[in-house]
Amino acid sequence: MSYDNYGEYVSFFNNDNARFDRFFYDLSVLTPEEETDIGNHTKGPDRIKDGSVIVVKPKRLRISEESKELECYFLAENVKGSASEHKDELEDIDTVVVAGVGSSVFGTAALAKKVAEISNKSVAGIVSGYGFNNVSEEALQGWFDLGRINIHRHNIACSIYDGKKQQDILDLEKKVNEIPEMIGLNTLLTKYCKKVEKLIGHSKGNLIIASTLYNLLVEKTLDNELRDQLEKYRVLTLGAVVYFPEEFKQVYQYIGSQDNFGFLNSRWWCIKHGMSCIKYNTILNAWHHLNPNRFLPFTAMPFERIFREVFPT
C-alpha cells in the first residue's frame, strides 16, 4: 500500500484526526493560529506527508514543504519550499524529535515546540504518521518491522542466535529502510542538519532513531565529518527501551512503571534476564503519554524535568 495515499483517506474522522496527538502530547503549546495552519495542511495536495520535516522556532512555528529528496514544512509564516531552499536555516539545527504511533503533524509540532521553548533553539521534527487515519498500520509497522529488526540486532550484539535466515533479514532491512520516517531522518542528518547533537524519540520514534543511527554506523561511504558527528549524538528515548549499538555512548532511556504500551516494543525480556547491557530509568507511576494537561496528569511522563536532566545546557 502506498504511504502517499493516506492523506486522501480523510473520512468523517478527519475533524478530529489529531485525537491521539491530543491524548499523548501537549498541544496546548501550539497557538490557535498554529493549529489552524497545520490543519490546513492535513489533507488534499497541500497535506504534510509522513516523513516530512517540521522546523520549529521558540515562540513561533515555521513549516517547510515538498522537495524531491525531503519534504520540509515551515509553519509560522506558512512558507512553502524545498529543504534545499532553506538549507541555511536547517544547517544550524542541533536537535531533532520523532514522535510515536498515532501521531500526526500536530503531535510532531507540539513535541518539537515544547523542546524549542525549553532550549530556546530551533528544533526539527520528523512527521511520523497521519494520526488516527493510519494508526493501525503505524502500530503494526512498529511491532513487526522496526521492532523485529531491533530485536535481531540486539540478539546479535548479545551473541544470541535467533534462527532468522539471512535473506529474511535482508528483506526486513530493505522494508524498514523504505519507511518514510527513516528516509526523512537519514536525509536530514546526512544532508541538511550535520550539526545535530540531540535526538529525542517517543514510542515508535525511538525505533526510528535506533534504526537510522545503526544504518549510519554501518554506512561505509559516510564522510569523515559525519562519522565524527556520530560520537557526539546524545539520544533521549521515552516510552520504549530499545537497542542502540554500543558505539553510541550517550543514550538515555526512560519508561513509566505503568507503561504497558511502551513495554510491548521494549527489549524487556533480555533486560529482565540479565542478557543485555541496556540501561534505562523507570519513572514511578508514569504511563505512555507526555501530556500533563489531559487524562490523569500525574501519570504523564515528566518530559521537561527529564529533558533538563539529560541536557542540562
pLDDT of residue 79: 45
Q: What end-to-end distance do the CA atoms of the chain give, in Å? A: 43
pLDDT of residue 17: 66
Distance, in Å, from the CA atom of 174 to the CA atom of 276, rounded to the nearest integer, reads 26
Tell me: the pLDDT tens digits for 84-107?
666 777 888 999 999 987 678 889
pTM for the model stands at 0.85
In the chain, % of residues over pLDDT 70 = 74
Q: What residue spans define the domains of the chain?
A: 3-310
Centre a 10 Å sphere on the Cβ of residue 155 and count the other Cβ atoms it contains.
Answer: 19
What's the mean pLDDT in 100-124?
A: 88
169 band by pLDDT with thresholds 50, 70 and 90: confident
pLDDT of residue 60: 57
- Higher-confidence residue of 177 and 9: namely 177
pLDDT of residue 10: 37
Cα-based distances in Å from 70 to 56, 86, 189, 276: 17, 11, 11, 36
What's the mean pLDDT in 187-209?
A: 91
Cα-based distances in Å from 151 to 33, 164, 166: 42, 11, 15
Tell me: the pLDDT tens digits for 151-160?
888 877 777 7
pLDDT of residue 9: 38
Contacts of 70 (CB under 8 A, 6+ apart): 52, 53, 82, 83, 184, 187, 188, 191, 192
